[in-house]
Amino acid sequence: MKGKTILIVLILLTLIFAGFLAVRNYLLPKMSGENVSLINILIPRREAIGFLPYWLISRAQSDYSKYITTLTYFSLTVDGDGTIQKYTNPGESEPGYLALNNGKINPFLDSARQKGVDLSLAVFSGNDETITKMLENPETSAKKLIREVTPIMEKYGFTDLNLDIEQVKEASPEARAKFTRFIQAVKNNLDVKRVKSLSIDITASAFIKKTNLCDPIALTPLVDKVILMAYDYHYVGSYVTGPVAPEGGAGTVSEFDTRTAVEAALEMVPPKKLILGVPLYGYGWETIGSIPRSAVIPGSGFVISNAKAENLLSSCATCSAEFDDIDKENHIIYKDQDTGTYYQIFYPDKQAAQYKVNLAKEQSLGGIALWALGYEGKTILDPLSSYHN
Report yes or no on 32 lying in a domain. Answer: no
Collapse the DSSP code of 4 into the 3-class scheme (helix H, G, I; strand E, B; otherwise coil) and give the result.
helix
Specify burial of residue 100 (Cβ count, 10 A radius: 0-12, 13-18, 19+). buried
Reported residue count of the chain is: 389
Q: Which helix (H) or strand (E) holds 180?
A: helix 173-189
Q: Domain residues for 73?
A: 44-279+348-384
Rounded Cα gap, residues 389 and 385, in angstroms: 8
Rounded Cα gap, residues 218 and 138, in angstroms: 15
Distances (CA, A) of 254 to 53, 183, 260, 289, 325: 29, 33, 11, 19, 13
Rounded Cα gap, residues 134 and 45, in angstroms: 35
Residue 79 belongs to domain with CATH number:
3.20.20.80
Closest CA to 184 of 171, 198, 173, 196: 198
Report yes or no on 307 lying in a domain. Answer: no
Report yes or no on 154 lying in a domain. Answer: yes
- Strand ranges for 25-130 from DSSP E: 47-53, 70-77, 87-89, 92-93, 118-125
Q: Which residues pair with 121 in a beta bridge?
A: 73, 161
Rounded Cα gap, residues 97 and 382, in angstroms: 31
Q: Which helix (H) or strand (E) holds 333?
A: strand 329-335
Closest CA to 281 of 349, 344, 205: 349
Q: What is the pLDDT along the chain (389 residues), one digit of tens a residue?
A: 545 555 554 555 555 555 544 444 444 444 444 444 444 444 568 999 999 999 999 999 999 999 999 999 999 999 999 999 999 999 999 999 999 999 999 999 999 999 999 999 999 999 999 999 999 999 999 999 999 999 999 999 999 999 999 999 999 999 999 999 999 999 999 998 899 999 999 999 999 999 999 999 999 999 999 999 999 999 999 999 999 999 999 999 988 999 999 999 999 999 999 999 999 999 999 998 999 999 999 999 999 999 999 999 999 998 999 999 999 999 999 999 889 999 999 999 999 999 999 999 999 999 999 999 999 999 999 999 999 87
- The b/e string for 208-237 (b: 16+ C-beta within 10 A; e otherwise) is eeeebbbbbebbbeebebbbbbbbbbbeee
Rounded Cα gap, residues 79 and 133, in angstroms: 9
The dihedral sign for the CA sequence 86, 88, 91, 97: negative
Closest CA to 59 of 351, 368, 306: 306
Specify burial of residue 53 (Cβ count, 10 A radius: 0-12, 13-18, 19+). buried
Closest CA to 361 of 271, 247, 277: 271
Report yes or no on 302 lying in a domain. Answer: no
The dihedral sign for the CA sequence 105, 109, 115, 119: positive
Specify burial of residue 1 (Cβ count, 10 A radius: 0-12, 13-18, 19+). exposed
Distances (CA, A) of 26 to 12, 20, 21, 29: 21, 10, 8, 6
Q: How many domains does the chain have?
A: 1
Rounded Cα gap, residues 197 and 304, in angstroms: 33
Report yes or no on 305 lying in a domain. Answer: no
The pLDDT, as a whole number, for residue 188 is 98
The pLDDT, as a whole number, for residue 40 is 47
Report yes or no on 12 lying in a domain. Answer: no
Report yes or no on 19 lying in a domain. Answer: no
Collapse the DSSP code of 71 into the 3-class scheme (helix H, G, I; strand E, B; otherwise coil) and give the result.
strand
Report yes or no on 75 lying in a domain. Answer: yes
Rounded Cα gap, residues 355 and 358, in angstroms: 5
Rounded Cα gap, residues 270 and 225, in angstroms: 10
